Chains A and B, each alone.
Chain A
Amino acid sequence: MSSSSVLEEIRRAEEFLVVGKGVRRIDALDKVTGRARFTGDFVLKDALHVRLVKSPIPHGRIIEIDAERALSLGPVRFFTAADIPGENQVGYALPDQPLLPADKVRYVGEPVALVAAPDEDLAEKAAELVEVRYEELPAVFDPLEAMERSDVLVHEDRGTNIAEMTRVRKGNVERGFEESDVVVENTYRTGHQEHAPLETEGAVAIPDTQGGVTVIASIQYPHLCQRITARVLGLPHSMVRVVQPYVGGGFGGKDDMGPVVSAMAALVAFKTGKPAVLVYSRRDSFTSTCKRDPSVVRYKTGATRDGRLKAIEVQIILDSGAYANRGPYVLWRATMHAGGPYEVPNAKVDGFLVYTNKVFEGSFRGFGNPQVQFAAESQLDELAERLGMDPLEIRLKNLLRPGSRTITDQLLESSVGIYEAVKLLGEKTGFRAKWREYRRERAGRVRRGIGIACGYHGISTSRGVPDWSNATVILGRDGSVTVETGICEIGQGSWTAHAQIAAEVLGVPVERVKVVGGTSDAPDTGATHASRGSSIGGIGVYVAARRLRERLADAAARLLECDPSDVEIREGRAFRRDNPDDYVEWEELVQAAYGMGYEMSATGYFFLPKGKFDMERGLGYAYPAFSYIANVAEVEVDLETGKVRVVRVWPALAAGRILNPVLVEGQIEGAIAQGMGYALTEELKFEDGRILNPNFTDYLIPTSLDVPEVEEPIYVEDLYEYGPFGAKGVGEMALIPTPAAIMNAVKNATGVRITEIPATPEKVYFALRRAGVVAGE
């Protein structure tokens, strides 16, 4: 089926039976009854429990690892780099990351060895008794310093601490600034963010009888786990089977950590012939898993008197920590989104990914974009201020529309709903009136403010990086429907959306559809990240279901003695369009189709068409489409303590078709809470590379009493031609503009621009002091 005909059909469809409805999650029953099983629940008899031996220093050579005392405790096994049968390499973008380091450690918390024992306490005690001797090396923690230094290198063989550089050169920025009437320049800083899924990372590996292993793990991409685990064990991919049980939250972290943890557990299982369980403690999850990259963004914006953006010049520095991991991709995404969802004729962006001796960074909801949108959207308000405009006005002047070009000079022909979304949002919230009123009032010790920020997020992988969708749909003899996909269910509800798509296309109730996902047994559907689970992931389901639907229509036509084009299949019945009373039941139809020789399983595959991208100038086709979001936030600022409370948030989303409004609302509400935590309370504190608060006692994620009221979202359904029913991605969206929306509201309330997040009470208080808004006590 050609893609244009898919689009045609979607456009024609006026009304859906299942799609677009708040269909109940297919996994809800398992979850409310406590029957849902997570990785740590699969502790098999005879299993070995695995514990990490971690580096206590930020940088040093490993001189000797002595496990004698640990081994003397009892039946303890012990593994180092030397035990790895295959390739000791788990680096994602660059081959810089060993599973277990052989020569040196690069951050506090880096696992240097594994200990396994039949009982947990023994494993833990043994891990504590392993003695590692190091020759300490000088360490570097600040990315700005690390960029300049070549005497302290996190990776000597690279000759520099700069892991990756990116750039965009569009138009002529010098001229752009010359033509500008106002120019605003600021430096923005963002901190680490820990994913803090309530279920920590974990994997259970079980040796099989053919010399391979089966891994049950908390993951976001089974085929990547399979590849990395096979590489570490020196096995063909086919010898490693990966299955996800239920996953207790991912947010990107388990995309990166899933393969690492799986490979560790698999190593133990492979070497011992016994099942091995490795579940990270909360502390491990803080000290030894990737985080959101901290950033320093220097941002210069120019505009004419009437508020039109003329030029931006941006420098993005991402602190990658000890390894590059996804960093180069994160940096590319940050770079290409640096302009915000606006028309900017001249753009110069330079990105740097820098190694330091801290825990490594990685994928996290938003993937580099929240960092730059925080800067871009703060800048826009500062610009508006200088121009005497209000924040809504300046945005409406510059927002992307169909026919606009992005900062990579990509032409956006369609599916650009942000302008309409912002307009509606402005009206719904009464933004202008409130913004003026709060600005005028500014009295008392608790001040109110309102702020707006937008965001956009490219769907699919960046640039020309290949992306595809793939799924299998199988009809059982009894008419039951099985969807097989590599997409993982990590809480976002993709499997429910998949079931809805299959049900809608086939014409059966959702309850008939079972989704088998998150396994390497299914086709490689790519990762469950980049908001692609339901959107890109769903295309394969759509295509496969279409194939079956055509065959069924054919079979039904033979039974009903009519033309296939006259057959309608709905709600589990096939009938003649002109005579609904002349029908066959679904089960009957499927059985008959089997008897007539129709193949009752089909694969659906779709390779996303992508354009050219010029890496030298950073111009060209960046993404097949973008999802768009705008948030308005209302806050209260306690001037005397610096405490910011977010009272209410109004989201507006332009992400194509809304497949399931209940799921989408859930994603928005969750993302706003996570974005608020990122903006206000979640702060990892370091001392010489060591995390001082590796726990929920002092790393503070939002509670029920902290979260704002989230108003019903505005949806602008700007359909995307290759999305299933026109859907684009949703999962990451609402987090992206949240920090800027909050800080813009703080500015409205206090007149003070906060350029660094998390804006903890202490930081806000001293910023207000410096600005003279409050005096010292």
Chain B
Amino acid sequence: MLPEFEYHRPASLEEAVRLLSELGPDAKVIAGGTDLVVKMRAGLVSPRHVVDLSRLTEIRFIRDEGDRLKIGAGTTLWEIENSREVARGVPVLREAVEEMASWHVKTTATIGGNLCNASPAADAAPPLMVHDATLVVVGPEGRREVPIGEFFTGPGQTVLGVGEILAEVVVPKMRRGQGAAFEKLTVREGALSIASAAALVEISGGRFVDARVALGAVAPTPIRALKVERALKGRPATREILRSASREAKADIKPITDVRGSREYREEMSVVLVRRALERAVERAGGAWA
């Protein structure tokens, strides 16, 4: 049984924002509903108003703008998985989406929903974090841009204020010399992550010119592994350095014990996943181990 609410289907993003500011904190946005409906049924949220964004074509697009890709927040995971632009420009996002849920869920689940739901285990987040994506938010005060690293504030918590909607995700595309990979550990196919990791590296002259690593399900929010990154940047791209840098992941994370895994296991697996993601990223960057 779902809580009783009023249903609204605004015809434009502008109307949606207006509606949300009028309705105040009792209103919730719905896109694919694959998180929201589950939470409503479990009694975790009971909005009085539900505002449906699933028909807003304005926020449902994938646009190639040269060095960056713009993805509308209302784009479904299925569309992302099948997008040639994403496969070429942000392959690590595609890789993550491929491993998420199932076809049946991805046909309605959106990328905006995955981010705004702000689960620590949101699988789309680590790839976007290593790409230094920017989130475009529209609200009663207009438009603002939020770096993805500042978007999540806690489990289920984001910087979005009342009346604000995530409109699009701007992702700098992979460049030549860069490589990226995503790793997800689950007990079973299609299940939620025990831990996940994304890595993006750039190698030049046998050195890590750039290295970005992000993890999911091992802290209150998806996080960047800054200590790992520091241990790589500027150093020779060797397996040994990669190995020892991966171990820094333990210092970057704050895992808990829950039904999916213990803190101890998550600590160990963070290192394994980071290492595996980095290794594959290096190979994809041209495979030039120093």
Contacts and interface: CB of A to CB of B under 8 A. Distances in A.
B261 interface: yes
Contacts of B192: 697-698
Interface string B80-91: 000000000000
Among the interface residues B188, B189, B246, which one has the most CB atoms of the partner chain A within 10 A? Answer: B188
Contacts of A705: 189-190
Contacts of A685: 259
A762 B265 contact: yes
A398 interface: no
Interface residues of A, number: 25
B187 interface: yes
A187 interface: no
Interface string A172-183: 000000000000
A706 B247 contact: no
Contacts of B187: 681, 700, 760-761
B250 interface: yes
Given A765-B268, A766-B265, A777-B272, A641 B191 contact: no
Contact of B265 (A120, A681, A698, A765): A765
Interface string A77-121: 000000000000000000000000000000000000000000011
Contact of B268 (A681, A706, A776): A776
Interface in A634-654: 640-641, 643
A281 B269 CA distance: 35
A36 interface: no
A692 B187 CA distance: 16
B259 A706 contact: no
Contacts of B118: none
B1 A706 contact: no
Nearest to B264: A766
B280 interface: no
A285 B261 CA distance: 24
Given A762-B262, A765-B268, A777 B250 contact: yes
B259 A692 contact: yes
A177 B230 CA distance: 62
Interface in A661-693: 681, 685, 692-693
A120 B272 contact: no
B209 interface: no
A761 B261 CA distance: 9
Given A121-B1, A777-B247, A777-B250, A698 B260 contact: yes
A564 B162 CA distance: 90
Interface string A105-143: 000000000000000110011000000000000000000
Interface string B189-202: 11110100000000
Contacts of A4: none
A706 B269 CA distance: 21
B1 A681 contact: no
B248 to A, nearest CB: 11
A469 B156 CA distance: 59
B271 interface: yes
A187 to B, nearest CB: 22
Interface string A753-777: 0000000111001100000000011
A640 B275 CA distance: 11
Contacts of A72: none
Contacts of B268: 765, 776-777
A488 B271 CA distance: 52
A43 to B, nearest CB: 16
A702 B189 CA distance: 8
B189 A698 contact: no
Nearest to A702: B188
A254 B51 CA distance: 42
A33 interface: no
A777 B264 CA distance: 11
Contacts of A706: 188-189
A685 B187 CA distance: 14
Contacts of A693: 259
A55 B209 CA distance: 60
8 closest cross-chain pairs (CB), A and B? A777-B271, A705-B189, A700-B188, A762-B265, A640-B272, A698-B259, A681-B188, A693-B259
Given A641-B269, A681-B187, A762-B261, 18 more contacts: A120-B1, A121-B1, A125-B1, A640-B272, A640-B276, A697-B192, A700-B188, A700-B191, A702-B188, A703-B188, A760-B187, A761-B185, A761-B194, A765-B268, A777-B246, A777-B250, A777-B268, A777-B272
26 contacts: A120-B1, A124-B1, A641-B269, A641-B272, A643-B185, A692-B259, A693-B259, A697-B191, A697-B192, A698-B259, A698-B260, A702-B188, A703-B188, A706-B188, A760-B187, A762-B194, A762-B265, A765-B265, A765-B268, A766-B265, A777-B246, A777-B247, A777-B250, A777-B267, A777-B268, A777-B271
Interface of B: 1, 185, 187-192, 194, 246-247, 250, 259-262, 265, 267-269, 271-272, 276
